[in-house]
Amino acid sequence: MASMMSVAFVDSSVAAHESLVQGLKPGIQVHILDANQDGILAITEFCDRNLPMPRSKTFT
């Protein structure tokens, strides 16, 4: 059985989001969400391209 990908979506408007990203476990795929764009749409588009759905964390 293949391991499931883990992904973290981080809103760029989060204070010190760079530090948050650096604190994530190695191997987690990180996507920085543009604070000026629709984050839900960006996450939806990512999930549409990356089925099955990865384990995800969202920081907003």
1 within some domain? no
Q: Is residue 17 part of a domain?
A: yes
Contact 56, 5 (CB under 8 A): no
- Domain extent, residue 38, equals 6-59
Domain count along the chain: 1
CA torsion through residues 47, 12, 35, 57, sign: positive
Q: pTM of the entire structure?
A: 0.74
pLDDT digit string, tens, across residues 7-46 = 889 999 999 999 999 999 988 889 999 999 999 999 889 8
Please check whether residue 13 is in contact with residue 35, taking contact to mean a CB–CB distance below 8 angstroms.
Answer: yes
